[in-house]
Amino acid sequence: MNSYLPEYFKEFELIWESRDTYTIHLPKENPGKAGQFYMLSSPGIGEAPISVASGHLREMLFTIRSVGTVTSKLPDARVIGVRGPYGTSWPWERYGKILAVAGGIGIPPINSLFDEMVGTGRGKDLEIIYGARSPSDLIYHKQRKEWAKMANVIITVDKGDPNWKGNVGFVTQFISKSETDRDGAVFIIGPPLMMKNSVAESLEAGFRPENIYLSLERRMECGIGVCGHCNVGEFYACEDGPIFQYSAVKHLPELFL
């Protein structure tokens, strides 16, 4: 079997979430779990690793920021290829309570997590802190309402605008006020500096290093642990991650790059 061969979709839905972020909806059940990723592609454009935004066994959703050589061209693609799922997932089933901290385009895998937890009646065990650069960068307006029905949700922006009446500040500022039980887990996903500071705040707030999990973003090309690009220390982010237990990777000097 050729594991590099994608499954192609000519029929798919593409919805813009903000000026630079869109969601691709594929008519296929997601066999993967929250935190895992797929290689999305289009012939002639190339492949990019994208975390799944919907829960296990829901229809596949991928929310993508248009920034890279592939992701900026996918909105114009007539065919979308997908292969996966790859990598590790958020280990939410092992924990009673979970605090999810997401920055920017880190939010889709947390939506996937919410899907899965709600699906098993555990939506109330989740607390979400979601931050973006500005109010116009916040996405998932409908989903955020769904989250708030079940979970404690804190939304914040780095910088507000005249119409913004919500929180202003980095996600890290809200970790110490978290309602999540300190024996629970913290799932952190976002830019490297945001993750670094969120880990420090989580430890300060009383969460344990072995209960903190990070999603590492690296250049990934194969998704199956062979091409070497995502190598970080003794790990390959695509197969040993992207979700890593903080205590298992904290010794890596390249962790927060």
Q: Tell me which residues touch other proteins (CB under 8 A).
A: 1-5, 41, 43-47, 67-69, 71, 191-192, 217-219, 221-222, 224-229, 231, 233-235, 253-254, 257
CB 172 within 8 A of CB 104: no
Residue 197 beta carbon to other proteins: minimum distance, rounded to whole angstroms: 17
d(CA 35, CA 166): 28
Category of 233 on φ-ψ map: left (φ > 0), alpha (ψ -120 to 50) or beta: left
d(CA 70, CA 80): 12
Q: Which CB sits closer to other proteins, 117 or 194? A: 194
Q: Which CB sits closer to other proteins, 27 or 68? A: 68
**Number of Cα atoms under 13 Å in the Cβ half of residue 8:** 7
Q: Which CB sits closer to other proteins, 144 or 218? A: 218
Residue 210 burial class via C-beta count within 10 angstroms: exposed 0-12, middle 13-18, buried 19 and up: exposed
Residue 43 beta carbon to other proteins: minimum distance, rounded to whole angstroms: 6
Residue 201 beta carbon to other proteins: minimum distance, rounded to whole angstroms: 22
Q: Which CB sits closer to other proteins, 180 or 215? A: 215
What residue spans of the chain are helical by DSSP H?
108-119, 141-150, 192-204, 246-249
Q: Which CB sits closer to other proteins, 40 or 126? A: 40
Query: Which residue carries 């919500």 as its tokens?
Result: 166
CB 188 within 8 A of CB 165: no
Residue 233 beta carbon to other proteins: minimum distance, rounded to whole angstroms: 6
Q: Which CB sits closer to other proteins, 4 or 16? A: 4
Residue 238 beta carbon to other proteins: minimum distance, rounded to whole angstroms: 11
Return the structure tokens found at 76.
């114009």
Residue 3 beta carbon to other proteins: minimum distance, rounded to whole angstroms: 6
